[in-house]
Structure 1
Amino acid sequence: MNADSAEVVTFDNVGLRYGTDREILSDISFTLHPGGFYFLTGASGAGKTSMLKLLYLAQRPSRGAIRMFGTDVITLPRDRLPPFRRRLGVVFQDFRLVPHLSAYDNVALPLRVSGVRESELRKPVADMLEWVGLSHRAEARPATLSGGEQQRVAIARAVIGRPDMLVADEPTGNVDPDMALKLLRLFEALNRLGTTVVVATHDVHLLRKVPDSLIMRIDKGRLSDPTGALRFPPRRDQRAQVEL
């Protein structure tokens, strides 16, 4: 796998249905490039969460092709998917923190899985907890944290390993506007280091906070991309072109 691939992810005529129901997603085609910042938006039930599941490899499509980091992940055996998943950071809408671990240990988990020594992970984990305003809650377990605090721990865990791609499902939904902006700036900083960022959100105000972002609008299971901008590396002036 090549981290410098010209394409991080490519969807080609992807469709998704659950069982025998009608398709949730239809004819989805786009390419995400290294260093791009993308917002995924659309009405509730439009298909955003289903598309994110395909992006972080929790779901396989019913049809079409998906390439990730230069490899066809549809035909790849499931036992070969973990190395791809380790290159992804995911912020789930329901947080998915490990309940018996402290906030510190939840954030440290990706580094430990990657084999980072304890002496080398203490500072980055402490710095990340400070950034999200939770240094004073480092030893707290998820059940004792508020929803907004759990959200911040989940975000810190997702970005601590500087993933090649970050996928975030409504990452600012449980925090106040000031913290939402601070978290968005954290995503921007990670993006400047080369991480491709995909943020699904209902908050239209966030879309204006990242001037160089592209907007992927999904409506009734179909992706709107009138200019074809999602198939080419983003330019500084493409944000307004992609938004309908």
Structure 2
Amino acid sequence: MSAIVEFDSVGLRYGTGAEVLKDLDLRLPRGGFTYLIGPSGAGKTSLLKLLYLAQRPTRGRMRIFGEELSAAPRDAMPAFRRRIGVVFQDFRLVQHLSAFDNVALPLRLAGRDEADVIGPVRELLAWVGLADRAAAKPATLSGGEQQRVAIARAVIAHPELLVADEPTGNVDADMAARLLHLFESLNRLGTTILVATHDLSLIAATKGAELMRLENGRLVDPTGALRNPPRRVGEG
């Protein structure tokens, strides 16, 4: 199976500080479903930033969508980013837009006709339990509601790669299961998914998922009392 993302001895530092990611070698297979785990401060957020192209590696090689990132011009980045869906831990909703318009934003930026926007957005808002909150602005939504809007926005355009940071951290168990089903459905349609999470029950509920563990900026063998632990993706 071809890889959608490949790292070869990748390192990342901010400014002149110490490296926060060190010698990462990983391969995300196209169409795979992977969980990223590790303690707080391990570098998970920094790794996600590389994956959704908010940062470039400071050393090593990174390929995404078959392209060598170091050789890609900066003006190519927006086109790459449009192929990636991101669920941020802090939501990052556009505050002056309604829930409907936040979810519709990726479709409108892609130039979809409005007639092709309304139906999918309404359907997805209903799926995440927010059909009656479509007109609400983010400031009037609870944390869990904002999380669901953020997830709907990330998946509405069926991205090739979905990167999610603690996507079920602000929802109850029933909604977490519903959102997992949404991710699994998207994965079956071909989207490659990587989810950073501390929720071991979410991992155990995902059949066929793979697992990466990050500690002190390095990928290590997955450990812990996981029932039927997923296969290893990377090791340091």
**Could you tell me the TM-score, scaled by structure 2's length?**
0.94
Equivalent positions of 1:76-87 (< 5 A) are 76-87=72-83
The number of aligned residues is: 230
Runs ≥4 in structure 1, deviation > 6 angstroms?
none
Question: Which amino acid letter does the alignment assign opposite residue 160 of structure 1?
Answer: I
Q: 2: distance between equivalents of 1:199 and 1:107?
A: 20
User: Which amino acid in 2 is paired with 1:90?
Assistant: V
Alignment of 1:203-242 (within 5 A): 203-225=199-221, 239-240=230-231
Residues 1:59 and 2:55 are matched in the alignment: yes
Q: Which residue of 2 aligns with 1:41?
A: 37
C-alpha distance after superposition, 1:70-118 (max 9, x if no partner): 1011232211111110000000011010101000000000000111111
Tell me how far 1:20 sits from its aligned partner. Answer: 1.8
Aligned 8 A contact 1:39 1:200 in 2: yes
CA contact (8 A) 1:67 1:73 kept: yes
User: What is the aligned partner in structure 1 of residue 174 from structure 2?
Assistant: 178
Q: Which amino acid aligns with 1:129?
A: L
1:15-63, CA deviations, whole angstroms, 9 ceiling, x for partnerless residues? 0111222110100011111110000000000010000000000001110
Instruction: Choose the corresponding residue for 1:199, options 195, 198, 207.
Output: 195
Q: Distance in 2 between matches of 1:176 and 1:40?
A: 21
Aligned to 1:148: 144
Q: Following TM superposition, by how much is the alpha carbon of 1:243 offset from its aligned partner in structure 2, in angstroms?
A: 9.8
Aligned pair in 2 of structure 1 residues 202, 150: CA closer, same or farther (>3 Å)? same
Matched with 1:72 is: 68
Residue in 2 aligned with 1:110? Answer: 106
CA 1:14/1:220 → structure 2, altered by over 3 Å: closer, same or farther?
A: same
- Asked whether the equivalents of residues 165 and 196 of structure 2 are also in contact (C-alpha less than 8 Å), the reply is yes
AA at the equivalent of 1:84: F
Shift of 1:240: 4.5
**Distance (Å, rounded) in 1 between the aligned partners of 2:81 and 2:151:** 16
Which residue matches 1:133? 129
**Quick check: 2:27–2:233 contact (8 Å CA) kept in 1?**
no
Cα distance in 2 for residues equivalent to 1:209 and 1:243? 21
Give the TM-score of the pair, scaled to structure 1.
0.91
Instruction: Confirm or deny: 8 A CA contact 1:73 1:81 kept in the other structure.
Output: no
Unpaired runs of 5+ in structure 2?
Answer: 223-227
